[in-house]
Amino acid sequence: MNDISLVFVELGVAVIGLALLARLASRWGFSAIPLYLLAGLAFGNGGLIPLRFSEDFVHVGAEIGVILLLFMLGLEYTGEELGANLRSGLLAGAVDFMLNFPPGLLAGLLLGWSPLAAVLLGGVTYISSSGVIAKVLAELGRLNNQESATVISILVLEDLAMAVYLPLIAVLLIGQGLTAAIISTLVALATVGVVLFVAVRYGKMLSRLIAHQSDDVILFTTFGLVLLVAGVAQRLQVSAAIGAFLVGIAWSGPIVERAHKLLGPLRDLFAAMFFLFFGLQVDPATLLPVLLAAVGLGILTALTKLVTGWWATRRAGVDTLGGLRAGAALVARGEFSIVIAGLGVSAGLEPELGALSAAYVLFLAVLGPILARIIEPLSTIIMEREV
């Protein structure tokens, strides 16, 4: 009983703290995400005031946060729009990979790591954070901007690339053969294909079946289906986040607006928990020895993401300012990068992989939302001076 009461007290303190940070961010006209991350850093292991949170509960809440962020992001697009964006964004996805995977790969090799550890660091630098970016675009009211379609297509292609990358890496880490790696990858791709087919082909029918006059029915049905599909996707070595995203794609018609209204508050609560939990996992003492390397790599790959977003949106006919907004939005790294690094740490590849990845992700998870907010006024000032 005392343990339960302590959990309630600690979680209550955490949620009230998140509320205060959100209030502060609102007053400053700023994204709350960096504040959530820094709070987690301050109150986690090795922080200023370590708190013994119920890690299992907070971890599950954090995962639900990412799932809901991606589901709500999927609500913004129909299956037809997704298909069109993916077809038009394949070249942009290839450029994204070529610009952002090699920096991590080369950095790992220069540090004297094994080739497999270097490949893992390449994955860390390649993949942007869908969770952070979805939250930032929503906060800034840019989900319906012209450049956001290109940003979303790049994020989806990255998540689809993870459907190949993660199973392949997992098999290589445990030393299984090429056949096992190929089978695991094919299962992941088949899962994505089936879910995408159902979302595009039968989305309208599913939306009609779920539609109901009762908000409770829609809330429970939608939330349950999102968790179910995400769990099955994760079980089959596909990202739970992309499963949730595809469920959002399947929803159409009046139910979309009601899902926004009903699940929006849950998304905000659990998403804040995700960012807090990420900070809680990082021991500040492990960051200092690798901080310089992480910041240098972060600055380099922030620039490559800026180039990626600018080039992709300019190719799609978006103006320069929209291109810069897209590039800035893509800078943040987060959940996938930590998952990739965690695979290497669990396998005992390189002692510095976890710390370097954590410092790198924390730096860009803070820099990304800041850059996304200031890029528009900053670029406007620069263009005015040039004129």
Distance CA 173, CA 353 (A): 14
CA atoms within 13 A on the CB side of 103: 22
Residue 97: pLDDT band with limits 50, 70, 90: very high
Residue whose structure tokens are 């940070």: 21
Among 188, 85, 103, 111, CA closest to 350: 111
How confident is the model over 307-331, as a mean pLDDT?
90
Domain count along the chain:
1
State the residue range of the domain holding 173: 2-386
Name the least confident of 178-192, 231-245, 252-266, 360-374: 178-192
Q: What is the mean pLDDT of the chain?
A: 80
Output b/e per residue, 316-334; b: 16+ Cβ within 10 A.
bebeeebbbbbbbbbbbbb
pLDDT score for 198: 75
Distances (CA, A) of 34 to 205, 206, 384: 40, 37, 30
Cα distances from 57 to residues 131, 267, 274, in angstroms, run: 19, 16, 11
Q: Report yes or no: 255 and 221 within 8 Å, Cβ to Cβ.
A: no
Which of 141-145, 296-300, 368-372 is the least confident region?
141-145
Write the DSSP assignment of 194-250 as a string of letters. HHHHHHHHHHHHHHHHH--S-HHHHHHHHHHHHHHHHHHHHHTTS-HHHHHHHHHHH
Long-range contacts of 78-84 (CB under 8 A, 24+ apart): 78/203, 78/249, 78/252, 79/196, 79/199, 79/200, 79/201, 79/203, 79/249, 79/250, 80/200, 81/149, 82/156, 82/196, 82/200, 82/249, 83/200
Asked if pLDDT for residue 118 goes beyond 70, the answer is: yes
Residue 168: the pLDDT is 74
User: Is the model more confident about 203 or about 325?
Assistant: 325
- Inform me whether the pLDDT recorded for 1 exceeds 50: no
Predicted model pTM: 0.73
Residue 367 has pLDDT above 80, yes or no: yes
The CATH number given to whatever domain includes residue 272 is: 1.20.1530.20
Q: What sign for the dihedral angle of Cα 169, 174, 178, 180? A: negative
215-264: per-residue pLDDT in tens?
A: 888 888 888 988 898 888 777 766 677 778 778 877 877 777 888 788 88
